[in-house]
Structure formats: C-alpha cells, structure tokens
Amino acid sequence: MPAFQTTPGMRDVLPPESARWRRFVDVYAEVVEGAGYGQVIPPLMEDIKVFARVGDATDVVTKEMYDFVDKGDRHVALRPEQTASVCRAFVQHRPATPWKVWYAGPNFRYEKPQRGRYRQFDQVGVEVLGANDPYLDVEVIALGWDFYRRLGLRQVTLLVNSLGEPDDRARYVEALRAHFTANLDALSADSRTTLTKNPLRVLDSKRRDDADLIAAAPRIRSFYSDTAAAHFETVVAGLGALDIPFTLDPTLVRGLDYYRRTTFEYQGGTLDSAQNALGGGGRYDGLVEALGGPATPGIGFALGLDRTLIACDDERVFAVGDTGVETFVVDTTGGLEALTITRELREAGITCDRAYENRSMKSQMKGADRSGARVAIIVGTDELERGVVTVRPLRGADEQSAVARTDLIDSVRKALS
Ligand code: AMP
C-alpha cells in the first residue's frame, strides 16, 4: 500500500471518468442557461454562521460540518450545501430580482462513506430569489426533470408535496407531535429522538417499524390555508400542462425550518430505496432575512452528481464518450518534427498527441493506438530527407500516403473527413 491515500469519503476522479463529470455539468449548464439562469460561483468556505442559519434540526449542520478556526481566529466551515451561500451572496450584492442563478461544485459533509455517499461530493443546483409565482415552482421542477431527460434517464420519478404556509406548517407540526407522542411506544428509538427536535422529520424515517404510524399520521392537506391550497393547485395544474408525470406524496418534507409550500424530490427508479433520492428542492422563505437581507421568497433544488451517474450506469445511458485525440504524430528522427507538427495541427484546430523520448517506431505506433487517434502522421529519416510526411489512417481500409510537408494540414483534414 502506498504511504498516502485519499482520506475516507474522498476520491480522485481520473480520466476518462473525469470527462463524464465535466460533460454532466456542461449538459446541466445548457439546460439552465437556456432558461435564463446565470452561474454563481460561491467560495468553498464561509463563516460557519452562514450555514448555522439553515437550522439546527439537521445533521448536515449539527454533526457533519467540516469546521475549523483559521489563522485569523475566524470560525469557518467548508460548505455542506450551497443554498445558504447563494442567499448570503444575494444579501451581500443586492442583485435585481428575480435573481435566477445556477451552481455546480463540491460540498463537504462528514458522513459515513458508502456507495453513492461521500464526504466530498458534487451537486448542481438552481436558486431563484425574489419571486412567489407558482409557475416559477413549475419551471424549476421542470428544469430538473428536463435535465434528467437530457442525460437520457427514463426511470426517474418525481414526488411533489406542499408544506403549506408557515402557520399551516406550525399547526401541522403540533398535530404530528401529538400523534407521535400518543404512540411513543410504537416509534423506533431514532424517531423518538427526531420527534423531540423536529416532528416533521419523523415522516422521513425509512424504518419499517415506523411505517404504520407514519401511514396513520395526520395529513398536511387538511391544514392548508386558502392561499397555500391555491398555490399548490396551480403548481399541480402547471405540471399537468407540461405533461410532467408526478406523484403527490404527503410525507415528503424538507426538514429545514425555512421550507414551505412546494417541496419535490426526484428518485432514481433503479436505485435501492434507502438511497434513491437523486435530488430535491422546494420553496423557502426567511433564509435571506436570517442572513440579514429583506424578506425574500426563494425556491431551488440541488441534484447529486454521484447517484445520478450511478442511475445512468444502471440505465446504460450517458456513457463516457470518446475523449481521445484525432491524430498522433510519430517521429523517429529525434522529436523536433513532432514538436513543430503537433503545434501546427493544434493551431489548425486538429487535436493531436505524440510520443516522447525518441522511442522505436513500433513503440510509438503502440502509443498511437492507445491514444484512440484515427490518423497517424509519421516522420522517419526518409520522410525528413524528402520533405514529406506519411499520413496513415489507423482505422478503416484507406491506404497511407506520403504528402508534402507543406500540404500537411489539408491532407490530414482530408484523411479525417
Ligand atoms: P440534499 O442537499 O441533502 O438535499 O441532497 C441532494 C442530493 O445530493 C441527494 O439526493 C444526493 O443525490 C446528493 N447527496 C447528498 N449528500 C451526498 C453525499 N454525502 N454523497 C453523495 N451525494 C450526496
């Protein structure tokens, strides 16, 4: 074993898999930028209080943060998610509303590593600050949906719920507390602890012993005020108008105190049910205020890269494309020809690689093979003396030909076409 390895939950992403990661973000950027969202790149690290504002009823904030005191005595944390950073940026820079932004990048959570769960993991997301329109909820939900479709996924399901207005939600929480407290004996030990912190989160329990009690729990629907009910009806009708299939799931809650009204989650059809959430989001109010800004409604989602790529593997879509170069230069005359020819090709927009250390023809041709190139450009002493290069197609039945050095670019273009 080498002396140094990545620490638990951390990974190196190597080629060609790294190309897939980048393409994932490229596809995502195309979808959201096509809808008028601009990219925001928040720092990886913030004052820990920025994240603490997200609420203390969640493990992400209470147990899993990578935090430390820096050399200037500031208590900082690596971001465990990006919504709080985006809201902090909104308060700091006061952009015009609605502020429609997207992000992509790593987050850090000190979790127990397992398949699809790491301590550094990437998410892509959107946030819209400053608009309360229910059709915006539909737009945001549809963007996530369309992104999965664009990747080629066909077995994603969408769950939708509404948590009502803050007052509705508060009354509902009390009803849940009463329901679970009256049946404490039937509740798992973990859920009893959750109950003391946030009764809503008990609905998140995937434990079989809790299932009956959760099924018998009061439903949020009967707590909706007229405005909450109207907002949700419009969202549901909007999804219908876009032909986006979804399931109403009254137990879908976002644990954070700031979430209200619309919540949603995308699940991977091929993934194990305990880990099948590909991403999710919802409406939140109050977060911008908690960070020192004016009352501002917000909505957004965060989609995990890892589980989405696992789902892609399961559905055999979004495979790593051919990331190799188009051409490969073989030079057995010392390497100066390879040096100048690769430069010429690259300047002409033709991708190319080469061999080094003046190896034998056979060894260099092996390199050409490995590179995935379709055309080799070969220079030996004979070619050098005659002022030509040999252009050799590496796939297909075409013959190689000697072409004048001055015709290099045109000949290579022809061989590639
Ligand atoms: P959350 O921010 O917790 O709502 O998570 C949104 C999505 O991010 C989840 O559905 C996962 O796909 C992904 N995710 C969350 N935590 C992790 C993690 N530790 N490792 C990998 N993916 C994660």
Q: Which H or E run includes 299? A: strand 298-304
Amino acid in the structure at residue 221: R
The pLDDT value given to residue 49 = 95
Q: What is the pLDDT of residues 207-264, one digit of tens each?
A: 888 999 999 999 999 999 999 999 999 999 999 999 999 999 998 987 677 888 999 9
- What is the reported pLDDT for 396? 84
Question: Which of the four pLDDT bands, split at 50, 70 and 90, describes residue 382?
Answer: very high
341 CA to middle of ligand 1, Å?
47
Indicate the SS3 state at residue 132.
coil
pLDDT score, position 86: 98
56 pLDDT band, cuts 50/70/90, is low
Distance 312 CA to ligand 1 centre (A): 16
How far, CA to CA in Å, does 30 sit from each of 20, 33, 34, 101, 151?
Answer: 15, 5, 6, 13, 12
Distance CA 222, CA 138 (A): 23
pLDDT of 218 reads 94
pLDDT of residue 57 exceeding 80: no
Which ligand 1 atom is nearest residue 123's CA? Answer: 8
Report the residue among 110, 306, 310 best suited for mutation to probe ligand 1: largest number of ligand atoms under 8 A from its CB. 306
Chain segment 125-167, per-residue pLDDT in tens: 999 999 999 999 999 999 999 999 999 999 999 999 999 998 9
Rounded Cα distance, 125 and 42, in Å: 12
Residue nearest to atom 21 of ligand 1 (CA): 117
Mean of the pLDDT values across residues 13-32?
Answer: 96
Distance, in Å, from the CA atom of 164 to the CA atom of 229, rounded to the nearest integer, reads: 7
pLDDT per residue over 61-109, tens digit each? 878 999 999 999 999 999 999 999 999 999 999 999 999 999 999 999 9
Rounded to the nearest whole angstrom, what is the distance from the C-alpha of residue 199 to the centroid of ligand 1?
22
% helix / strand / coil in the chain, to the nearest 5?
40, 20, 35
Nearest CA to ligand 1 atom 5: 279
pLDDT at 323: 75
CB of 180 within 8 A of CB of 266?
no
Ligand 1 centre from 279 Cα, in Å?
Answer: 7
Q: List residues bridging with 45 in a β-sheet.
A: 78
Q: What is the mean pLDDT of residues 48-64?
A: 82
In this predicted model, what pLDDT tens digit does every residue of 301-347 receive, in sequence order? 999 999 999 999 999 999 977 778 999 999 999 999 999 999 999 99
Question: Of 263, 307, 308, 310, which is best to mutate to test ligand 1, by the most ligand atoms within 8 angstroms of its C-beta?
Answer: 307
Per-residue model confidence (pLDDT) at position 76: 97
Mean per-residue pLDDT for 109-123?
95
Higher-confidence residue of 116 and 328: namely 328
Map residue 120 onto helix, strand or coil.
strand
Share of the chain above pLDDT 70, in %: 99
Q: pLDDT tens across 258-282, in order? A: 888 999 999 999 998 878 999 999 9
Residues in contact with ligand 1 (CB, 6 Å cut-off): 81, 109, 111, 116-118, 121, 123, 277-280, 302, 304, 306-307
- Written as six digits, the tokens of 207 are 């434990």
pLDDT score at 265 = 96
pTM: 0.93
Q: Which atom of ligand 1 is nearest to the CA of 302?
A: 6
